[in-house]
Homo-oligomer: A and B are copies of this chain.
Amino acid sequence: MIEYKRLDETKAFPKLAALPVPKLGELLTAERIAACDIPSGGGLTYNWAATPVDAAVLACLGELAEEQGLLEKYKLLAEGEVMNTGEGRMVLHHLARGRLGKAVLRDDRDLRAFYEGEREKAAGFARDVHSGKIVSSTGEPFTTVVQIGIGGSDLGPRALYLALERWAIAEGRAMMGACFISNVDPDDGEDLLSKIDLGTSLFVLVSKSGVTQETLANECLVRDRLEAAGLEPAKHMVAVTSETSPLAGNESFLESFYIDDFIGGRYSSSSAVGGVILSLAFGPDAFAEFLAGAHEADRLAQEKDISHNAALLDAMIGLYERNVLGMGGTAVLPYSEALSRFPAHLQQLDMESNGKRVDREGVPVGYSTGPVVFGEPGTNGQHSFFQLLHQGTDPVPLQFIGFLDGQTGGDIEVEGSTSRAKLNANLAAQIVAFARGKKDEDKNKEFPGGRPSTLIRGARLDPRALGALLAHYENKVMFQGFAWNVNSFDQEGVQLGKLLAKKVLAGAKGDPALAAYAAMLGLPAAE
């Protein structure tokens, strides 16, 4: 029988906290760097040499992972246990990309087959759009796909699209351009709609519940503008939703693709939420490669030995840095312009999953859970917030990502080195600079060092590598949630704001403070 207990109820945690903290600057040798290398799927490798983890800490992290049953819980989750306890739901995003154990059935339906069927439907639809079998209401081929969604229906798919856009062009696999409308700020949608050719644009409306306020407002905006342009909205829009939503089986859509309540928004990129737009943009094969990479990483996350399980180790090192060393935040630093919005996706994935103050039983935890996650691509970040990371008062753990080759193939040699060499030289340099620091008589020029980082690297950012990268972080977040004993799969923290916003729109009656802010922001009070 698997046990659910808080971090501070384990035997391993106080033991971990009592271990001497290794001096990172002294640990970092070439031998260690070579030894701390673990495959993380999709051709990627995870390196944890630049963390303050020695053999004793590693062993204790392994004990803690075992005591908290992280792998068993992962297995239960993958096989359909109700892991989203508050909402009474299974957590099945892994099934969208393969099976990790026995089949998961719901009312006799095999859910892997359901997700796979929707993927195949999206693949067929994309092929028909690409071949010209499906055309716009003017009879023209669709050239642009526009996703309408917010949160998990926007951040993941957007980050993934941007991550592969240059790769697809270079490989001759770019089928359609993609854009996104997410914010309820009407300037977002208005601006985009004024810049694209509506007649050749296909809109993908994504809302699992079918009642997301922002998304439905933007749907109306789009339909209105399509009509104003003399087009037939129903021939320019598909839906991605659940079978029980008001949007399901609706004739105002050209086609509908389904997910269900067992795939949470922030974990939904490998379902139809990401699959429809990515299959249209890059072709169904690219999306299948992406899923294969993600599944590889999922399988590697089942590895029992923590020193060979990249996602598990990454999770436990992060926990050690946060709960034992007291470090705040996590910076995600891809040395790849293509990953410019990947940190924003991880920000949602991590902060919405583990930004929780009560455990699975609703008891407040007495320790820090999920960190603030932020980041920008390098080398840009070096010229921005890296100052604080190097010399600020509060150390922040760093997660570097890098690739040996670029996506476009273009480059130039200046002063004896290519731009790619400069990019990766800076990446190597930063890892060492953060870990080792530098003494200086002028204390303003001194670097304390001892600032930990990890590195995920690959040959080139392609769909398979991207899938593995995404899954690595999903699994890391899940393992941390298990270790903290929080529910990483609900988001009750978004409800109060929704309620109060409705109250404002209804006039904020009986709530003078709310009415005061509403009035300041130009909203009418109730009569």
Contact = CB atoms under 8 A, between A and B. Distances in A.
Which 9 residue pairs across A and B have the least CB separation, nearest first?
A355-B388, A151-B383, A429-B500, A190-B410, A390-B493, A355-B392, A348-B384, A391-B493, A30-B512
Contact of A493 (B188, B358, B387): B387
Interface string A400-428: 00101111101110111111111111111
Contact of A408 (B152, B186, B336, B429): B186
30 contacts: A150-B379, A151-B384, A155-B380, A155-B384, A166-B191, A183-B423, A185-B337, A185-B423, A186-B412, A186-B419, A186-B420, A191-B408, A220-B414, A347-B385, A352-B385, A358-B443, A363-B443, A365-B393, A372-B388, A390-B497, A416-B505, A424-B522, A426-B497, A427-B521, A428-B518, A429-B499, A429-B514, A432-B500, A433-B496, A444-B492
A143 interface: no
A114 interface: no
B419 A185 contact: yes
Contacts of A436: 513
Residues of A contacting B: mostly: helix
In this complex, which of A348, A419, A516 has the most chain B Cβ atoms within 10 angstroms of its Cβ? A419
Interface residues of A, number: 153
Interface in A327-384: 328-329, 335-338, 344, 347-348, 351-352, 354-358, 362-365, 367-370, 372-374, 376-380, 382-384
A425 B492 contact: no
Contacts of A194: 169, 408
Interface string A264-283: 01100000000000000000
The winner among A391, A495, A512 for most chain B CB atoms within 10 A is A391
Interface stretch (A211-219, A232-240, A300-308, A471-479): A211-219
B150 A383 contact: yes
A197 to B, nearest CB: 16
Contacts of A213: 422
A125 interface: no
Contact of A190 (B408, B426, B493, B498): B408
A154 interface: yes
A479 to B, nearest CB: 18
A430 interface: yes
B33 A411 contact: no
B408 A364 contact: no
Contacts of A405: 522
A204 interface: no
Contacts of A520: 33, 47, 428, 455, 457
A405 B165 CA distance: 34
A187 B385 contact: no
Nearest to A151: B383
A491 B383 CA distance: 9
A80 to B, nearest CB: 22
Contact of A494 (B352, B383, B406): B383
A386 interface: yes
Contacts of A292: none
